[in-house]
Amino acid sequence: MKKFLEGSQAIAETIKLIKPEVIGAYPITPQTHIVEDLAKLKADGKADFEYVRAESEFAAASIVLGASAAGSRVYTATSSQGLLLMTEVVFNIAGMRLPVVMTCANRGVSAPITIWNDHQDAMTVRDAGWVMLFAENLQEAVDLHLVAYKVAEKRNVPVMVNVDGFVLTHTYEPVEIPTQGEVNKFLPKYKPAKGTYLDTKAPRSFGAFATPPDYLEIRQELHEAVKGSGKLIQKEIKAWNRIFKKDKVNGKARESGLGQKEKIKKGKKLIDNGLVEYYGSSNPETIFIAMGSMAGTVKHYLDNNKGRAGVLKIRSFRPLPQEEILAVLKKAKYVAVLDKSISLGEEGILAREIKAMGKDKIKGKVQSFVVGLGGRDITDKTFDSIITEIKGKDEGEKFIG
């Protein structure tokens, strides 16, 4: 059913359809509306999950860790300082190979205090061992949560779905909410395999003490599980599209926010393989790289400009799909990496990774542009400035206001 919903409400309705057994909840702006809406669904008798109000984000993460270890499908959400408070548990969830799904309503971190959006929170825990997905709009946010559970439960790795705070969580968009039948067909009731959860009849330990001869191999297994999840993400996106597109609304075919498509839209080339999406000129001179809602801002800019430019949207940051990224970038003369975060003392975090993978493989100039920190507006003038800057001789990182 197509609805006009606030982003947080759309996410909450999707989680209800997914039917987690346990939700660990602690409010923090701009994530609060998600757990508030879930609490109301529970109070109104529209959901039967166990809703546990925690005393902190650390506790909320610990609740879902324990429930997942006991064999339950679980959910939690957080933002900014809350995610940082969870850090110890976030690492433990991954290390224990628990299929936890969490929404991060991305927000800048202190100090100074900001409640507005950037990606510094998620980037701070990027090495914890979670699959990390970024939504451009509300339809992607809905669909990515469904894919997240499928990937988490098939590979026994946690998944973080990132949605830009306020930009997505507090704005309203038309969004297709799937039916319960569609969700059930794509994501059956969770039945963890024997030996992957706590069982009094077959006792085992999670996160036990590891000596030096064992620790390296355990971490390598987690690394390979996350790194190898890209193909599964693509497979499950295809599976979801097959189910979702079968039904029609008002005689029109439905389309999820995720892709496996190639077409011309508004005179621009659109290619979407699930992990990344390219939109823009068929023969671009400049390619912007963006994650989250910023990709939509770049698309708007491209639609109003006739230059040879395009935008490569990274939907999957972990694993980072190197082959797919390089296939788009290899012929570009200029590559402007737009980061809503920075490794202080270094440069934009995504830019550093693009440069590392593109060494001797990307012919053009790759430059780091740090934008939108603390919710700073990103406008057409921002992109005009970037196009001017990247054609200059300076190759160092640039903060563009």
Query: Does 369 have pLDDT greater than 90?
Result: yes
Same domain, 26 and 78: yes
Q: Each residue of 30-41: pLDDT tens digit?
A: 999 999 999 999
Looking at residue 252, what is its pLDDT?
Answer: 62
What domain range is 266 assigned to? 261-399
Residue 256 maps to a domain: no
Residue 131 maps to a domain: yes
List the structure tokens of 28: 């923090």
Same domain, 214 and 266: no
Same domain, 154 and 37: yes
Question: Using 50, 70 and 90 to split pLDDT, how confident is the model at 247?
Answer: low
Residue 200 maps to a domain: yes
Question: Using 50, 70 and 90 to split pLDDT, how confident is the model at 267?
Answer: confident
Residue 242 maps to a domain: no
Looking at residue 107, what is its pLDDT?
Answer: 98
Same domain, 188 and 335: no
Same domain, 71 and 159: yes
Closest CA to 275 of 119, 144, 186, 146: 144
Tell me the pairing of strands 268-272 and 261-265: antiparallel
Residue 366 maps to a domain: yes
Evaluate whether 268 touches 313 at the Cβ level (below 8 Å): no
Give the mean model confidence (pLDDT) for residues 196-200: 93
Same domain, 184 and 287: no
Domain count of the fold of the chain: 2
Evaluate whether 198 touches 69 at the Cβ level (below 8 Å): yes
Looking at residue 265, what is its pLDDT?
Answer: 73
Query: Does 257 have pLDDT greater than 80?
Result: no
Same domain, 32 and 171: yes
Query: Does 246 have pLDDT greater than 80?
Result: no
Same domain, 349 and 228: no
Question: Using 50, 70 and 90 to split pLDDT, how confident is the model at 248?
Answer: low
350: Cα separation from own chain's centroid: 14
Residue 249 maps to a domain: no
Domain at 282, CATH number:
3.40.50.920
Looking at residue 254, what is its pLDDT?
Answer: 66
Residue 245 maps to a domain: no
List the structure tokens of 281: 């000129």
Question: Using 50, 70 and 90 to split pLDDT, how confident is the model at 251?
Answer: low
- Identify which has the larger pLDDT, 251 or 157: 157
Question: Using 50, 70 and 90 to split pLDDT, how confident is the model at 259?
Answer: confident
Same domain, 177 and 320: no
Domain at 101, CATH number:
3.40.50.970
Q: Each residue of 146-184: pLDDT tens digit?
A: 999 999 999 999 999 999 999 999 999 999 999 999 999
CA distances from 137 to 8, 78, 142, 162 (A): 12, 18, 9, 11
Question: Using 50, 70 and 90 to split pLDDT, how confident is the model at 260?
Answer: low
Query: Does 308 have pLDDT greater than 70?
Result: yes
Looking at residue 262, what is its pLDDT?
Answer: 75
Give the mean model confidence (pLDDT) for residues 209-214: 94
Same domain, 144 and 28: yes
Same domain, 221 and 325: no
Residue 312 maps to a domain: yes
Query: Does 144 have pLDDT greater than 70?
Result: yes
Evaluate whether 121 touches 134 at the Cβ level (below 8 Å): no
Residue the block writes with tokens 């992990």: 275
- The pTM of this model reads 0.96
**CB under 8 Å, gap of 24 or more: what pairs does 278-281 form?**
278/310, 278/311, 278/312, 278/313, 278/328, 279/310, 279/311, 279/313, 280/309, 280/310, 280/311, 281/307, 281/308, 281/309, 281/310
Give the mean model confidence (pLDDT) for residues 120-130: 98
Query: Does 1 have pLDDT greater than 80?
Result: no
Percentage of the chain surpassing pLDDT 70?
97
Looking at residue 244, what is its pLDDT?
Answer: 85
Same domain, 265 and 231: no
Looking at residue 253, what is its pLDDT?
Answer: 62
Percentage of the chain surpassing pLDDT 90?
90
Considering the chain, what is the average pLDDT of its residues? 95
Number of other residues whose CB lies within 10 A of the CB of residue 377: 10
